[in-house]
Structures are given as C-alpha cells and as structure tokens.
Amino acid sequence: MTDFIDEIPAYSIESLRTVSTEEEARDFEFFRFEYFAKDIEHLKAPHRHSFYTFILVTGGGGSHDIDFTTYDLKPNRLFLIAPGQVHAWNQLINIKGFVVLFTDGFVALSKGRKLMSNWPLFRLDQPCFIDLSAAESENWQEELRFMEGEAKLQDTFSRDAIFYSIGTLLVRASRLYIGVAPDENLNQDLLFVFQELIEKNYVTMRAPKDYAALLNITPNHLNAICKKKSGKSAGGLIRQRVLLEAKRLLAHTKLSVAEIAYQLNFVDNSYFGRYFKKYLHITPERFRKQFSG
C-alpha cells in the first residue's frame, strides 16, 4: 500500500497563522482569543492540526465545526481539539478568551512524564467541550493568566512553569471528564491504550483479536472492557475510527471514492461502498453529495 495522501490542509503550530514570523519548529503557543481571531480567514476552510488545543471562551459568541458537528462558542465553554480532527471556524462575534496550543512532545518534556495518550482527554468517545461553572471558569482563567505571564517572560524557568501549568489544566479537565473508582483504573487505562493503538493502526488493522494480542489480553476481555467503559464493542470502536476518516476524506477532499477506498485499505471500491452503507445507511457518493449541498 502507498503512503496515505491527505488533501485536507494540516497546520503545525508555527504554520497556523499567516502573520507568524516564526520559522523554527514550535511545541507551544499561547494567544488571547480576541487577538487570535484577527488572523483566521484561512482557517474557515476545513483543516487539521498537528497539535492539541485548549480554547476557553470568556465572552462574545459564534460557532465552529469539529468533525461534522457545529458547536456554539459561549462564555465558560472549554473546547479540547485533538490532532487530526477536522476543524473550521465560522463567524466570531466580539469573541474573548484564551487559546493554548501544545504538542505531545511538549507534554513529555522529560523521562517519566505522561504522554497525552495517558490522559482521558481528546478522544473520539468523549465530548469535545465542557461547560464550566462560573467558579471553575475563574480558576481556569487564573491559571491561563499565569501561563500568559510566563509565555511573555521567557526566562530560564518559563518553559518548566508553562509545562506544569498545562499539567494542572490536564488534571482539572480529566476530573471533569471522568470520575474513575480506584479499582477501575486498570480497565480505563487499557481502553486508553486500545484507542491509541486504533489511532495508529486503523488503516491496516481491523480485527479486535489483533489488538487484543498487542494488549496481551483475550478478545473477549477486550470486548468486555470496551462495552463497560465506552458502551461500544471493540469492533465498534475500530469501525467508528475507519468511518470517521472515510467521512472526512469524502467531505473535505477531491479524492475519488475508489481512491479513498484504496487509502483506507479496502480490497476494492465495491466492498468499501457496502461497508460504508451498512454502518451509515448511506452510500459514499450520496454522503459526499449531501455534505456538499
């Protein structure tokens, strides 16, 4: 199989803004939302990011699209956008807030620190926003203002200070997402690792038994964990990821249905069409036409 060809524009942190003068690779950036919103015209078209994003809205309004769903921007709403998700900004009205961009490499600054895959965030089976209470929002804003100060200071200790500040935000967001009892930690961790394996292998590996072998557990055990923790079977989670990518490529690229079938490692266009229709109840061609209006 040839390398995956993706016609959806993908931005790194340093290439995200048209006014950026940065040439070196960056693994962290901080913006006030009102400043960030001045340079997003090119981001109103569907695109991907190679980094993680926290967005906290503190004022104003508007909307944006994340993987076929339109979300309102409103005060005290926190968004979490993962690398690879297809994103597009819509209208922004007097928007205010904070935008934090960071890579997996920034989070894993030194040995023993958690990679993003170890956090219960930025996952397909989780909502991509949290509505904070007024008190929670103020706590987040206080931490973000501290981070902003360190980003401006840029002294010997600023990078470590920002790292620990992001860690604090990850802990706070994780607590809002899930409340896992101590005896459930192992199962939750196994589900996270399984989801990470899907993200890396969904194009070439579709059988739950192959993932179970990588996790050194039985297929039945994997399926039981998935159903208990996510409400979906192991096979269902794999299909969810395959179909999401198929929808992204149909909606946001000019690749033919046959080319998309090949990209996603289906034996032929006909089988891809049957697979797509079986689970989404619409043909790839009709989905593309429906989405394009």
Of 36-50, 97-111, 177-191, 194-208, the poorest mean pLDDT is in: 177-191
Average pLDDT over residues 102-125: 68
**Distance, CA of 231 to CA of 250 (rounded, Å):** 27
| Span 135-159, pLDDT tens digits | 999 999 999 999 999 999 988 898 8
For residue 39, name the pLDDT band (cuts at 50, 70, 90).
confident
Percent of the chain with pLDDT over 90: 63
**Distance, CA of 64 to CA of 92 (rounded, Å):** 9
What is the value of pTM for the model shown?
0.77
**Distance, CA of 256 to CA of 288 (rounded, Å):** 10
How much is the pLDDT for 65?
Answer: 94
Percent of the chain with pLDDT over 70: 87
- Which residues are 88's β-sheet partners? 65
Domain count of the chain? 2
* Per-chain mean pLDDT for the chain: 87
Q: Cβ distance 247 to 284 under 8 Å?
A: no
| 157 lies in the same domain as 284 | no
Whether residue 113 has pLDDT greater than 60: no
| 22 lies in the same domain as 128 | yes
How much is the pLDDT for 110?
Answer: 44
- Where residue 141 sits, what CATH number does that domain have? 2.60.120.280
| 235 lies in the same domain as 169 | no
Burial call 90-119: b when 16+ CB within 10 Å, e when fewer? eebeebebbbbbbbeebbbeeeeeeebbeb
| 43 lies in the same domain as 155 | yes
Residue 1 included in any domain: no
| Domain boundary residue, one of 132, 158, 177 | 177
Whether residue 109 has pLDDT greater than 70: no
Q: Which residue has the higher pLDDT, 126 or 134?
A: 134
Residue 3 included in any domain: no
| 143 lies in the same domain as 283 | no
How much is the pLDDT for 155?
Answer: 87
Of 171-175, 252-256, 287-291, the poorest mean pLDDT is in: 171-175
| 22 lies in the same domain as 42 | yes
Residue from 160, 81, 166, 86 nearest 128 by CA: 81
How much is the pLDDT for 25?
Answer: 64
Residue 204 included in any domain: yes
| 282 lies in the same domain as 145 | no
| 216 lies in the same domain as 113 | no
Residue 161 included in any domain: yes
| 239 lies in the same domain as 258 | yes
- Where residue 244 sits, what CATH number does that domain have? 1.10.10.60
Residue 4 included in any domain: no
Tokens 């956008």 correspond to 81
Domain coverage including residue 284? 184-292
How much is the pLDDT for 18?
Answer: 62
| 169 lies in the same domain as 190 | no
Residue 2 included in any domain: no
Whether residue 293 has pLDDT greater than 90: no
Residue 256 included in any domain: yes
For residue 33, name the pLDDT band (cuts at 50, 70, 90).
very high
How much is the pLDDT for 181?
Answer: 39
- Which residues are CB-contacts of 269 (< 8 A; sequence separation ≥ 6)? 257, 258, 261
| 129 lies in the same domain as 210 | no
For residue 230, name the pLDDT band (cuts at 50, 70, 90).
confident
For residue 1, name the pLDDT band (cuts at 50, 70, 90).
very low
Amino acid at 265: N
Token pair of 158, please?
A: 């600023």
- Which residues are CB-contacts of 210 (< 8 A; sequence separation ≥ 6)? none
Whether residue 23 has pLDDT greater than 90: no
| Domain boundary residue, one of 121, 154, 177 | 177
| 103 lies in the same domain as 161 | yes
**Distance, CA of 58 to CA of 49 (rounded, Å):** 23
| Domain boundary residue, one of 177, 196, 224 | 177
Residue 86 included in any domain: yes
